[in-house]
Amino acid sequence: DAGITQSPRYKITETGRQVTLMCHQTWSHSYMFWYRQDLGHGLRLIYYSAAADITDKGEVPDGYVVSRSKTENFPLTLESATRSQTSVYFCASSVGAPSGANVLTFGAGSRLTVL
């Protein structure tokens, strides 16, 4: 299927465990992003990537690791999950550098609960 897909859609884990959220897009978009959404905070940027092998921190990167070995994939790893990382995580992509011409398209989201 064309588009941007996230997996898993729902995940429950325990404090201290490693968790990886997957994001795959079929549009060959250059830019990919990970946001988390929490009540009272809106969408906050965790990491973004301008191209394969190019990643950069966003507003809230602590506790997260990303990689982008292929243009179409942008996994997000929580190396040692904490309760404060309970959130809804959205992956998004844009064809080029964020601007008026290059809008964001979001995946369906991954709801993560850390017990």
Partner 1 sequence: QKEVEQNSGPLSVPEGAIASLNCTYSDRVSQSFFWYRQYSGKSPELIMSIYSNGDKEDGRFTAQLNKASQYVSLLIRDSQPSDSATYLCAVPNYGQNFVFGPGTRLSVLP
Q: Mask: binding to partner 1, 38-77, rule CB under 8 A, as x and -?
A: --xxxx-x--x-x-----x-xx------------------
Q: Is 14 in the site for partner 1 (CB under 8 A)?
A: no
List b or e across 74-94, with b for residues whose CB sees 16 or more CB atoms inside 10 angstroms.
Answer: bbbebeebeeebbbebbbbbb
> Measured between alpha carbons, how far is residue 73 from residues 12, 45, 86 in Å?
22, 17, 23
d(CA 3, CA 18) in angstroms, rounded, equals 27
d(CA 61, CA 2) in angstroms, rounded, equals 29
* Number of residues near partner 1 (by CB under 8 A): 25
Choices 11-19, 20-28, 37-45, 74-82; region in contact with partner 1 by CB under 8 A: 37-45
Choices 11-19, 21-29, 36-44, 61-69; region in contact with partner 1 by CB under 8 A: 36-44
For partner 1, give the closer residue by CB, 108 or 115: 108
For partner 1, give the closer residue by CB, 16 or 98: 98
For partner 1, give the closer residue by CB, 54 or 80: 54
For partner 1, give the closer residue by CB, 14 or 65: 65
Residue 48 CB neighbour total at 10 angstroms: 23
Beta bridge mates, 57: 47
